[in-house]
Amino acid sequence: MAAKELYAKAHRKIKDIKGPLVFLEPIADVKFGERVVIVDSNGREKGGQVLDVGEKAIVVQVFEGSDGLDRKGTSVFFTGDIVKIGLSEDMLGRVFDGSGAPRDGLGEVYPEVERPIGGSPLNPVCRQQPKEWIETGVTSIDMLFTLIKGQKLPIWGGAGLPLNAVTMQIAKQVIRQSGEELVVIFAGMGITSREYNYFYKEFQDSGALASSVLFLNLADDATIERILTPRLALTTAEYFAYDKGRDVLVILTDMLNYANALREISSAREEIPGRRGYPGYLYTDLSTIYERAGIIKGQKGSVTQVPICTMPNDDITHPVIDLTGYITEGQILLSRSLDRAGFFPPIDVLPSLSRLMNLGIGREKTREDHRQIADQLYAFYAQGKELEKLTAIIGSEGLGNVEKKIVEFTQRFEDEFLGQGDQSRTIEESLGLSWDLVKDIPRSELRRLEDKHIEKYMPKRAGAAK
């Protein structure tokens, strides 16, 4: 941070300190949202932002937490400016902390431009409709909920599920596919040092680090800093996408920690809480993060987001998960039962979804039969899961012939289609496998498939015509 003597206004009249908030006596000309520097009696600096300005008090939120602040010795400097980040292409390969300071000991980055981290809403008429798919090499994702460039597609799973491993499998494959073109921006909020080591090693081993920027707020770093971290990451992503024309993949983990930090500030401000103590504006706040994914008309780059969120108690109705689902364009869920049964990646396909999928698949993109065969797999798998429950009660003898076929399908679907392990499959391989799975089921049951596709793509059954 630059020399604090240059700041216009120093202020020493602290009234109260509560949680991450400092309440000050009012002074003139303080702007809402202004960045402040707080210096405690030992000369230590902390960053902060103005949350409320009134004739009676000014409320400042302290990013690094209010530990060690007092009423007498602490000074607050108002910078007259909003929170910004310096950006440059030299950021590639670097690791920063949750408030944007270098963490890797390699010194400051000389910025090419400075941008406010809040971002402005993208004018809806300037958005380009996403239309290119991204091959992840994961059969269930590519076939059933295809990731599209410019999309925001979160991954959710309960505690203990391999969220990180699935994320890295996708990220590594996407990077490999793109050559050196793709930039990965990684924002870790409240992640443990174990997770940090895992991610760092994976980035390094796969050679992805050179084209990545990492922002890391660890579990023992200041909670409030987490409010900044995703915004720093997204401002950097927009810089690479729209200034430099690169395709950018942003990984945000873990959004639950972010929301909890927001809750902490809200309760310190004594705001009226919404569901589970989260502030009423959680939806609006999350949307200012997620909506920064997209593509701009007439520009080269794109921002694709994969936010990761732990699902507390496996509860899909948890407010953070629920509100995320209403903003993002689909979701990928991990399943505990598949994980226990040893399948990797343990993706729960029934509730998973990609809303933009139809824009990026089909003729000249993946293949003309993609939509229909995907729907057919869904229908059978849903039916198969119901039948499995039924079998548990009445035994498999009670099932009809067709139903037995569908139960067989369901087992093969989980063994072969979902349980692909670490290997990566091309879309042709995945499509081929899909058709192979349904080949034994009578035609009259294949209601989602058109004749022309069946003729063209159905593998010939051994020895039989019809």
Partner 1 sequence: MIQGVITRISGPVVQAKDIEGIKIRDLVVVGDLGLLGEVIEVKGNEVSIQVYEETDGLTVGQPVKSGGMPFLVELGPGLLGTTYDGIQRPLEVIRDQTGNFIQRGATASPLVREKKWGFNATAKKGDSVSFGDIIGWVQESPTIKHYIMVPQGVSGKIAKINSGDYTIDQPVGSLEDDTELKMSQKWPIRRPRPSKRKIPTNIPLVSGQRIFDVFFPLPKGGNAIIPGPFGSGKTVMQQSLAKWSDADVVVYVGCGERGNEMTEVLTEFPHLEDPRTGAPLMNRTVLVANTSNMPVAARETSIYTGITLAEYYRDMGYDVAMMADSTSRWAEALREISGRLEEMPGEEGYPPYLASRIAEFYERSGRVICLGGKIPGSDKSENERIGSVTVIGAVSPPGGDFSEPVTQNSLRIAGAFWGLDARLAYSRHFPAINWLTSYSLYLDTLKDWYNAELTEEFMQMRTELMEILQREDELNKIVQLVGKDSLSDPDKLLLDIARTVRDDFLRQSAFHEIEAYCPPKKSYYMMKAILLFYKNCQSRLGKIPYDQILTQPGWEKISSMRYFPNDKFEAPCQELLKEMAAGGELAAVAA
Of these, 146, 151, 164, 335, which contacts partner 1 (CB under 8 A)?
151
- 392: contact with partner 1 by CB under 8 A: no
| Tokens at 270, concatenated | 């004594």
Told to check if 267 binds partner 1 by CB under 8 A, we report: no
Which residue in the set 113, 382, 428, 452 belongs to the binding site for partner 1 (CB under 8 A)? 382
> Strands 247-253 and 302-310: what pairing?
parallel
Q: Applying CB under 8 A, does 130 fall inside the site for partner 1?
A: yes
**Residue 400 binding partner 1, by CB under 8 A:** yes
> Do 147 and 356 meet the contact criterion of CB atoms below 8 Å apart?
no
52 binds partner 1 (CB under 8 A): yes
Q: Which of 1, 113, 126, 210 binds partner 1 (CB under 8 A)?
A: 126
Give 78: exposed, middle or buried? Use CB within 10 Å, 0-12, 13-18, 19+: buried
Per CB under 8 A, 388 contacts partner 1:
no
Minimum gap (Å) between residue 23 Cβ and partner 1: 13
DSSP one-letter string for 377-393: HHHHHHHHHHHHHHHHH
Kindly tell me which of 23 and 196 has the beta carbon lying closer to partner 1.
23
In the window 7-26, what residues touch partner 1 (CB under 8 A)? 26
For residues 240 and 302, give the distance between their C-alpha atoms in angstroms, rounded to a whole number: 9
**Residues 218-247: x/- map of binding to partner 1 (CB under 8 A)?**
------------------------x-----
Q: Name beta bridge partners: 85.
A: 115
Write the CA distances from 60 to 45, 63, 225, 264, 277, integer angstroms.
14, 9, 13, 14, 21
CA distance readout (Å), 410 to 337, 386, 393, 396: 15, 10, 18, 14
Per-residue binder mask for partner 1 (CB under 8 A), 297-336, x = binder: x-x----------------xx-x--xx-xxx-xxx-----
Site for partner 1 in 360-379 (CB under 8 A): 371, 375, 378-379
Measure the CA–CA gap between 284 and 226, rounded to whole angstroms: 17
458 lies in the binding site for partner 1 (CB under 8 A): no
Q: By the 8 A CB rule, do 356 and 130 touch?
A: yes
Is position 442 an interface residue for partner 1 (rule: CB under 8 A)?
no
**Among the listed residues 47, 48, 100, 150, the single contact to partner 1 using CB under 8 A:** 150
Using CB under 8 A, which residues numbered 72 to 101 contact partner 1?
82
**CB atoms inside a 10 Å sphere around CB 250:** 27
Residue with smaller CB distance to partner 1, 54 or 179: 54
Q: Is 461 in the site for partner 1 (CB under 8 A)?
A: no
**What is the rounded CA–CA span in Å between residue 390 and residue 411?**
15
Q: Which H or E run contains 321? A: helix 319-327
Contact positions with partner 1 (CB under 8 A) in 162-221: none
Q: Which one-letter amino acid corresponds to residue 348?
A: D
CB-nearer residue toward partner 1: 299 or 426: 299
Alpha-carbon span 400 to 378, nearest angstrom: 20
Asked if 128 interacts with partner 1 (CB under 8 A), we say: yes
- Closest CB to partner 1 among 207 and 442? 442
Strand 212-218 to strand 155-157: parallel, antiparallel, or no bridges (unpaired)? Answer: unpaired
Exactly one of 394, 462, 464, 465 binds partner 1 (CB under 8 A); that residue is 394
Kindly tell me which residue out of 4, 15, 176, 355 binds partner 1, with binding defined by CB under 8 A: 355
In whole angstroms, what is the distance from residue 201 CA to residue 393 CA?
A: 48
Nearest to partner 1 of 48, 319 (CB atom): 319
